[in-house]
């Protein structure tokens, strides 16, 4: 065999060997998810908005993929425990995080974090969003945002607002409202939305910014007084309510949820997951599941979701740092 022929043989053999090594990985990515069981990690307990979105996404994606999907609720530490599990989990796409808003706030609220929210989770697509609804207890002379601002300024420090916990969008809605309107209102943190709403109905707290699906039935029943939604635009599920932004320009707070995977997941799998989530968000199945809960379906690209997460992290990080809000 000549020297030239030998070199060609060696190069061909090496290329064939390298191609053989790469093919299983590539084939696995192209076949994703195949017959694998896909686990969706919800970093909150059952029955809340994160869980509602997570179960809807898991069910619809399972039908779309024709494979088994399960939901694993991993609550604790404001979502950190569940997010940390994904950040240290598998990179084969079989473990998907239902990304909560806390991925943009917790690093500013907690002294230490078990993972790096910026680097350890890949935001793949935003799947859902819903506004909060500003409500006040019955008996207050308040029927609008303008009324609330006027009353609070005439009675500094006398009003209080409830939240489902420090650092939640429910809490931060109130803090943003106070800051932009220049108000002195006392924050009262609860362990969850339900006990906070119950205390407002009982007249123990004055107002609350709660998730629309949770509080709107109480407003409709006359147990509390609904004032305005916190999103920049009116909600199609509660169109009679004005927006806070009509009185406080620029006010825009939503609870949102997405899907993400651990950093290091092969690009081909991330691309496939992104494309499939966007496709599912355009179909009626997911919209039907979530619209009944007054939740909007989004279905953004990975680029747009990554930019959105970064913008939310900057906005809330600045507010939390300025106000020195911490989880004790």
Indicate if 102 and 136 belong to the same structural domain.
Answer: no
For 214-245, give one letter per residue: b (16+ CB within 10 A) or e.
Answer: bbbebbeeebbbbbbbbbeebbebbeebebbb
Indicate if 120 and 136 belong to the same structural domain.
Answer: no
pLDDT one-digit tens code per residue, 33-74: 999 999 999 999 898 889 999 999 999 999 999 999 999 999
Indicate if 136 and 230 belong to the same structural domain.
Answer: yes
pLDDT at 30: 61
192 pLDDT tier (thresholds 50, 70, 90): confident
pLDDT at 193: 87
CA separation, residue 253 to residues 2, 139, 219 (Å): 73, 27, 20
Tell me what the mean pLDDT of segment 181-189 comes to: 96
Indicate if 231 and 265 belong to the same structural domain.
Answer: no
Indicate if 54 and 100 belong to the same structural domain.
Answer: yes
Is 7 a residue whose pLDDT tops 80? no
pLDDT at 191: 84
pLDDT one-digit tens code per residue, 11-29: 444 444 444 444 444 444 5
**Any domain includes 6:** no
**Structurally, how many domains does the chain consist of?**
2
Task: Name the packing angle between helices 49-65 and 284-291 (round to 10°).
Answer: 160
Indicate if 141 and 218 belong to the same structural domain.
Answer: yes
Is 78 a residue whose pLDDT tops 70? yes
Tell me what the mean pLDDT of segment 158-175 comes to: 94
Tell me what the mean pLDDT of segment 258-267 comes to: 98
Indicate if 184 and 209 belong to the same structural domain.
Answer: yes
**Any domain includes 155:** yes
More confident residue, 194 or 200: 200
Is residue 93 a contact partner of residue 265, using CB atoms and an 8 Å limit? yes
Provide, rounded to the nearest whole percent, the portion of the chain with pLDDT above 90: 84
**Where among 182, 212, 246 does a domain terminate?**
246
pLDDT one-digit tens code per residue, 108-143: 999 999 999 999 999 999 999 999 999 999 999 999
The pTM assigned to this predicted structure is 0.86
pLDDT at 297: 97
- In this structure, what token pair is assigned to residue 130? 């819903």
CATH of the domain at 120: 3.40.190.150
Backbone angles phi, psi at 63, to 5 degrees: -65, -40
**Any domain includes 212:** yes
Indicate if 114 and 141 belong to the same structural domain.
Answer: no
**Where among 217, 246, 275 does a domain terminate?**
246
Tell me what the mean pLDDT of segment 91-117 comes to: 97
Indicate if 136 and 146 belong to the same structural domain.
Answer: yes
Indicate if 203 and 170 belong to the same structural domain.
Answer: yes
Q: Are strands 121-137 and 296-297 parallel, antiparallel or unpaired?
A: antiparallel
Is residue 240 a contact partner of residue 234, using CB atoms and an 8 Å limit? no
Look up the domain containing 100 and give its range: 30-130+254-323
**Where among 246, 275, 307 does a domain terminate?**
246
pLDDT at 65: 97
Q: For the purposes of burial, counting CB atoms within 10 Å of the CB of 320, is it exposed (0-12), middle (13-18) or buried (19 or more)?
A: buried
**Any domain includes 53:** yes
Question: What number of other Cβ atoms are within 10 A of residue 202's Cβ?
Answer: 10
Tell me what the mean pLDDT of segment 211-225 comes to: 94
Indicate if 71 and 146 belong to the same structural domain.
Answer: no
Indicate if 176 and 312 belong to the same structural domain.
Answer: no
CATH of the domain at 230: 3.40.190.10
Tell me the pLDDT of the chain averaged across its residues: 91
In whole angstroms, what is the distance from residue 45 CA to residue 183 CA?
Answer: 33
**Any domain includes 9:** no
């Amino acid at each position: 065999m000549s020297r030239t022929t030998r070199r060609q043989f060696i190069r061909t053999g090496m290329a064939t060997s390298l191609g053989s090594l790469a093919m299983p990985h590539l084939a696995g990515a192209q076949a994703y998810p195949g017959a694998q069981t896909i686990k969706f990690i919800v970093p909150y307990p059952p029955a809340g908005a994160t869980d509602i979105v997570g179960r809807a996404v898991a069910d619809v994606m399972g039908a779309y993929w024709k494979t088994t999907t399960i939901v694993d609720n991993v609550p604790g530490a404001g979502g950190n425990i569940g997010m940390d599990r994904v950040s240290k989990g598998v990179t084969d796409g079989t473990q998907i995080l239902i990304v909560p808003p806390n991925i943009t706030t917790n690093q500013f609220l907690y002294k230490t974090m078990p993972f790096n929210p910026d680097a350890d989770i890949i935001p793949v697509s935003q799947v859902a969003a819903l506004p909060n609804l500003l409500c006040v207890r019955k008996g207050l002379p308040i029927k609008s945002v303008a009324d609330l601002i006027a009353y609070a300024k005439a009675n500094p420090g006398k009003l209080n607002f409830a939240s489902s916990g420090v650092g939640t969008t429910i809490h931060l809605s109130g803090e943003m409202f106070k800051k932009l309107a220049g108000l002195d209102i006392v924050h009262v943190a609860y362990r969850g939305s339900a006990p906070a709403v119950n205390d407002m109905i009982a007249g123990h707290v004055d107002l609350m910014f709660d998730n629309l699906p949770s509080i709107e039935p109480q407003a409709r029943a006359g147990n509390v007084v609904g004032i305005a939604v916190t999103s920049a635009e009116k909600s199609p599920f509660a169109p009679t309510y004005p927006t806070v932004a009509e009185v406080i320009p620029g006010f825009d707070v939503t609870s949102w949820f997405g899907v993400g995977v651990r950093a290091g997941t092969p690009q081909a799998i991330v691309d496939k997951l992104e494309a499939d989530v966007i496709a599912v968000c355009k179909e009626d199945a997911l919209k039907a599941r979530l619209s009944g809960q007054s939740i909007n379906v989004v279905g953004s690209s990975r680029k747009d979701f990554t930019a959105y997460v970064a913008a939310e992290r900057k906005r809330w990080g600045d507010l939390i740092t300025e106000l020195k809000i911490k989880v004790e």
